[in-house]
């Protein structure tokens, strides 16, 4: 795509790897993203504590190049507690206690593949193998769950899903809960595998439909079937 000097300058300021940046350029240069930038600038200017830290907002894209995406696990918005959010859906740094949703994910992993539940909740090991840990909303204000919804992030991540649908092959999309399932409308199910289940949060998971859904073994079976290396789900 041919870019004006102004568009090139705008993209140069975006902290994304070049491969992702060029694929997502139409979304990054849209009026919606201009509005989102203005909103975020206002939040920072008011001294609000925003998670994850600025340098980690696009962490998922830095750890998982577009050309290496094999699996997408879609979350809703970042954790809003101090020190939790690290730019990867459901993941927390090793020194942070595992939130309930993540505990349930690792419990299902143990039941599915017999992998012992990890003592930590840092999912970077998954991300570096081609698992894009993407939230629908990439920022949040401390202590205010969902506070940055409907500011433009959803449109941006819709576009991410569209790009993945078009530019990757035989990708596994893991969509937990109604918010994530809504993104499924952009996915060609004859080209990719879509796995859905209830959200792993305690309220949803305990209703049934999450435990026993076996997303990890189903993912690896699909990857192997189509000539891809399976994911090593065990966290080191």
Which residues are identified as catalytic? 77
Residue whose entry in the numeric block shows the structure tokens 């595998």: 193
Q: How many CB atoms lie within 10 A of CB 153?
A: 23
Instruction: Report the C-alpha gap between 51 and 96 in whole angstroms.
Output: 15
Instruction: Report the C-alpha gap between 49 and 46 in whole angstroms.
Output: 9
Residue whose entry in the numeric block shows the structure tokens 């998954």: 126
3-state secondary structure of 72: strand
Strand intervals (E) in 110-232: 131-135, 140-141, 172-176, 193-197
212: exposed, middle or buried (C-beta count within 10 Å: 0-12, 13-18, 19+)?
exposed
Residue whose entry in the numeric block shows the structure tokens 């300058």: 9
Contact call for residues 92 and 79 (beta carbons, < 8 A) = yes
Q: Which residues pair with 71 in a beta bridge?
A: 131, 172
């Amino acid at each position: 795509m041919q870019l004006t000097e102004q568009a090139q300058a705008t993209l140069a300021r975006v902290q994304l790897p070049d491969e992702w940046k060029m694929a997502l350029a139409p979304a990054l240069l849209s009026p919606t993203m201009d509005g989102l930038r203005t909103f975020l600038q206002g939040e920072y200017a008011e001294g609000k504590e925003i998670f994850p830290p600025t340098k980690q907002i696009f962490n998922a894209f830095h750890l998982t190049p577009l050309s290496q995406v094999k699996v997408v696990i879609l979350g809703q918005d970042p954790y809003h507690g101090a020190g939790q959010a690290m730019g990867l859906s459901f993941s927390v740094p090793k020194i942070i206690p595992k939130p309930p949703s993540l505990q349930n994910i690792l419990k299902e992993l143990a039941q599915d593949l017999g992998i012992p539940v990890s003592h930590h909740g840092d999912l970077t090991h998954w991300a570096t193998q081609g698992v894009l840990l993407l939230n629908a909303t990439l920022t949040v204000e401390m202590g205010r769950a969902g506070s940055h919804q409907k500011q433009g992030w959803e449109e941006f991540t819709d576009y991410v899903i569209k790009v993945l649908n078009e530019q990757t092959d035989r990708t596994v999309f893991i969509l937990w809960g109604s918010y994530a399932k809504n993104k499924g409308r952009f996915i060609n199910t004859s080209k990719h595998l879509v796995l859905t289940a209830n959200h792993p949060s305690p309220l949803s998971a305990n209703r049934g439909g999450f435990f026993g859904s076996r997303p990890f073994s189903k993912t690896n079976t699909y990857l192997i079937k189509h000539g891809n290396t399976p994911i090593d789900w065990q966290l080191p």
